Amino acid sequence: MYAGRIAWPWAWDRDLRPGYDIHLWTIPIEFSHAMLLFVVLLALAPLRTHLRQVLTGVLAGYCLACGRWAAFEFLAGFFLAEVHVLRAATAVPGDHRSTTLSHLAVGAFHSTVLAACLFVAGWPNEDADKTPGIRTLLSNTPAWFLSNGRDEALTEREDWGEALLEQKFWFGLAAVLLVWSCGEFAAARRQFERPLPQYCGRISYAVYLVHGPALDYWKDMTDRSVKPIGMETAVQRMTAWLVGLLFLGSLVVWLADLFWRLVDAPIVALGRTVEQVCLQTDRGNEAWLCPEAKKVEDAHGLTVIVG
């Protein structure tokens, strides 16, 4: 029963708001759509590369048109990952032919895309219809994603506890565009490859897991510490928020680092060991994946099947 509450393998993309920690509502969605992605990979793996990419894009678009935002994100992520790995595996070293003008134009375009995606990420949970920019997006949200729609199927989804559904359409598009733009924009990519962002990426899942309990456990202590500051004015509220962020933020990062080192990293290592034990190592497996497949190594030493 408890495992079912954690996994919710048949909930798909319904926000069921788990009772054990409200912040972890994405885990059952990630689990079920990882299973979906495995099935899609099994079906598309034997196909030629370009056909597989086209079908992946079609499936992602179909899921978005049907209101399945999580399936769209997973399939679009698979598409972007394959494009990135194949490009890295077949890139010619030193081949960077571009003029200064085109370089500046590309930089301006991707900077605009990144800024727009970050703006969408700030979508408020309340008064979205009064927020400049956001209200324009809200008015152009497809009918399936409007949580106040009157469609019978949409009303049924609301009964499952789906909240703020219109956010998820724009969040999905923004997430895919953000990942794509970072992969294409070398200046942004270099920033994420620095040691500090890489460390943040390693502990990000641990932060996701521990920040809820940390907030619940130490919230009262933080509230008492900021009470003398007051909450009457905007300056007081901002000061109290910064003090709370300094205390709880540092605590969450420390707990996340411990969790990453003691739990997350060992489990990942165990998973890789189990994977190596389960994988077939005899020659000829690539032929099953694609009759014309060949193995190449990308810049990170990963073996890639190119068909």
What are the 10-residue block averages of pLDDT along the chain, 307 residues in total?
Answer: 59 64 83 91 93 96 90 95 87 66 87 95 87 91 68 44 75 95 89 93 94 84 71 78 84 95 94 88 51 46 45
Q: Would you say 307 and 48 are in contact if contact means Cβ atoms under 8 Å apart?
A: yes
Q: What is the pLDDT of residue 216?
A: 84
User: Which amino acid is located at 48 in the chain?
Assistant: R
Q: What is the pLDDT of residue 11?
A: 59
Q: What is the pLDDT of residue 154?
A: 42
User: Which amino acid is located at 272 in the chain?
Assistant: R
Q: What is the pLDDT of residue 179?
A: 94
> Per residue in 187-215, pLDDT tens?
888 999 999 999 999 999 999 999 988 88
Q: What is the pLDDT of residue 152?
A: 46
Burial of 161 (0-12, 13-18, 19+ CB in 10 A): exposed
Kindly provide the b/e burial profile for residues 267-288, where b requires at least 16 CB atoms within 10 angstroms of the residue's own CB: eeeeeeeeeeeeeeeeeeebee
93: tokens are: 């070293």
CA 222 to CA 241: how far, in whole Å? Answer: 10
CA 69 to CA 76: how far, in whole Å? Answer: 10
For residue 198, CA distances in Å to 84, 191, 201, 205, 255 come to 18, 9, 5, 13, 18
- Residues pairing with 297 in the sheet: 303
Mode of pairing for the β-strands spanning 303-306 and 294-297: antiparallel
Q: What is the pLDDT of residue 127?
A: 84
Q: What is the pLDDT of residue 12?
A: 64
Residue 22 is given by DSSP the state G
CA 67 to CA 243: how far, in whole Å? Answer: 40
Q: Would you say 89 and 296 are in contact if contact means Cβ atoms under 8 Å apart?
A: yes
302: tokens are: 């990963």
* Dihedral angle computed from the Cα positions of residues 183, 256, 258 and 278, in that order, rounded to the nearest 10 degrees: -50
Helices 165-184 and 100-121: crossing angle, nearest 10°?
A: 150
CA 285 to CA 165: how far, in whole Å? Answer: 43
Q: Would you say 206 and 256 are in contact if contact means Cβ atoms under 8 Å apart?
A: yes
> Torsions phi, psi of 98, nearest 5?
-160, 145
Residue with tokens 């190449």: 296
Q: What is the pLDDT of residue 233?
A: 78
Nearest of 289, 305, 293 to residue 46 by alpha carbon: 289
Q: What is the pLDDT of residue 296?
A: 46
- Taking the whole predicted model, whether its pTM rises above 0.85 is answered as no
> Per residue in 223-261, pLDDT tens?
776 667 776 778 777 888 888 788 888 999 999 999 999
Q: What is the pLDDT of residue 25?
A: 82
Please name the residue ranges forming H helices in the chain. 2-7, 26-44, 49-65, 69-90, 100-121, 134-139, 152-159, 165-184, 186-192, 195-226, 234-259, 265-278, 285-289
